[in-house]
């Protein structure tokens, strides 16, 4: 039997590489999660983008959860997102009529996500925003950020959070691509990294 001196660096074999979990593709996808606004609502806006890693590559197995106030700035308490059939316990999804303010979207094979929602109203001293939470492979702790929609320059200029982040504020403001369509890419690290928030 050959003995190897493990205390010597030249005798230590490298461990094989592997992908770091957790993995979110099982049990967490939420059918219809992208349809936060009631179907056919005339004031629906679309927010979309990509979740990108530190090298700018898209992540095909990430989740983006969104929470937003209604156009009057009120947070919905509608139990429409996770309704279950009281008899069978089966998943019923949204009721299709009331605005829930919440959605969970899985990125597609190209790392793309989108949601149809209502443009949020302002709350307190903040400019209108949508809260976002990102779950992805390699993230042992999910990340929180905000998505501000352009359109009210005075409110954006006075927003306390945007003021605090200084020249990185653009990573929190979506780009308007057309009438009612906004793009917001989430960069997990590297150049142009999205500002993430820590709640204590």
pLDDT in tens, 156-179: 999 999 999 999 999 999 999 988
> What confidence tier does 2 reach under pLDDT thresholds 50, 70, 90?
very low
Tens of pLDDT, residue by residue over 55-111, are 999 999 899 999 999 999 998 877 655 666 778 766 666 666 778 889 989 999 999
Q: How far is CA 180 from the centre of its chain?
A: 19
The shares of helix, strand and coil residues in the chain, as percent rounded to the nearest 5, are: 10, 30, 60
Measure the CA–CA gap between 95 and 98, rounded to whole angstroms.
7
As a whole number, mean pLDDT of residues 138-153 equals 91
Determine the pLDDT at residue 77: 78
What pTM was computed for the model? 0.82
> What confidence tier does 23 reach under pLDDT thresholds 50, 70, 90?
low
Determine the pLDDT at residue 98: 79
Q: Answer whether 133's CB lies under 8 Å from 59's CB.
A: no
The pair of three-digit structure tokens given for residue 182, joined into one six-digit string:
């906004």
Tens of pLDDT, residue by residue over 112-142, are 999 999 999 998 899 999 999 999 877 778 9
The number of helices, as runs of H, and strands, as runs of E, in the chain is 2, 11
Place of tokens 């957790």: 22
Phi, psi of 118 (to 5 degrees): -105, 145
Determine the pLDDT at residue 130: 97
Determine the pLDDT at residue 199: 80
> What confidence tier does 24 reach under pLDDT thresholds 50, 70, 90?
low
32 pLDDT above the threshold of 60: yes
């Amino acid at each position: 039997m050959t003995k190897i001196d493990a205390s010597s660096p030249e005798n230590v074999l490298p461990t094989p590489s592997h992908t770091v979990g957790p993995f979110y593709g099982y049990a967490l996808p939420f059918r219809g999660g992208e349809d936060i606004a009631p179907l056919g609502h005339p004031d629906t806006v679309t927010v979309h983008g990509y979740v990108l890693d530190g090298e700018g590559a898209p992540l095909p197995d990430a989740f983006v959860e969104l929470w937003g106030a209604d156009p009057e700035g009120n947070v919905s308490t509608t139990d429409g997102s996770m309704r279950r059939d009281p008899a069978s316990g089966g998943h019923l999804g949204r009721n299709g009529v009331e605005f829930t303010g919440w959605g969970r979207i899985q990125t597609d094979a190209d790392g793309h996500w989108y949601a149809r929602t209502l443009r949020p109203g302002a709350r307190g001293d903040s400019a209108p925003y949508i809260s976002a939470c990102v779950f992805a492979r390699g993230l042992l702790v999910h990340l929180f950020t905000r998505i501000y929609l352009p359109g009210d320059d005075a409110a954006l200029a006075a927003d306390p959070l945007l003021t605090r982040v200084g020249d990185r504020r653009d990573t929190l403001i979506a780009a308007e691509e057309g009438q009612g369509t906004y793009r917001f890419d989430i960069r997990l690290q590297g150049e142009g990294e999205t500002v993430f928030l820590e709640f204590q």
